[in-house]
Amino acid sequence: MTSLADLRKTYARGSLTKSAVKPDPIAQFRHWMDEALSAEVPEANAMTLATVGANGQPSARIVLIKGVDARGFVFFSNYESHKGRDLEANPRAALLFHWIELERQVRIEGRVEKLPQTESDAYYASRPLDSRIGAWASEQSHEISGRGTLVARAAKFTAQFGLNPPRPPHWGGYVVIPETVEFWQGRPSRLHDRIVYARQPDDSWRVARLAP
């Protein structure tokens, strides 16, 4: 087996400077996301979501971003899932995008709020029918006896709701309202470029370079 300690890669695809980034981190994120999509980075919309429970235990998983606007970064989930319980106890989170083909990362930290019900309703209605039924069928993060349980519950709710299931009350959206956003560009010799935005009390952004 190859020694993991011996695995190395030289990063040399690009650079990042304070003078090159946009004054607002949301605009800079949109720019980088557009470049990731244009480069056909696999699942460029996938992000790591890290939360901390009431017991202080951190937990991380991959979820999909479903929107970004002036408020922040939007995703959807079951409010009664592991992440939902964490966010109920401690409404703060960290996000990480890793676009390895572009040798880039984006790190986001901030507080979390639930989306208005009307926004959750609208997104739920736009999903494929199987996904809408799945939101009812899966008691996310809870122990089940086997896959047959999921299949049976999906059949039950399909029969109950037909083609127009309503949004489950336990399912909806969150927005991560950023307090810091860091853009990381890999560079040779591990002298990576790191540009961080920090939200100020007046909601302006301070931009700084960090040592790698």
Respond yes or no: is residue 190 known to be catalytic.
yes
Contacts (Cβ under 8 Å, ≥6 apart) of 206: 197, 198, 200
Backbone angles phi, psi at 51, to 5 degrees: -130, 170
Which pLDDT score is estimated for 2?
82
pLDDT per residue of the chain (212 residues) written in tens, 0 to 9: 789 988 888 999 999 999 999 999 999 999 999 999 999 999 999 999 999 999 999 999 999 999 999 999 999 999 999 999 999 999 999 999 999 999 999 999 999 999 999 999 999 999 999 999 999 999 999 999 999 999 999 999 999 999 999 999 999 999 999 999 999 999 999 999 999 999 999 999 999 999 99
The one-letter amino acid code at 181 reads V
Per the CB < 8 A criterion, the answer to whether 144 and 150 are in contact is yes
pTM score: 0.94
CA distance 68 to 127: 18
Residue tagged active-site, from 8, 153, 190, 209: 190
CA distance 189 to 92: 34
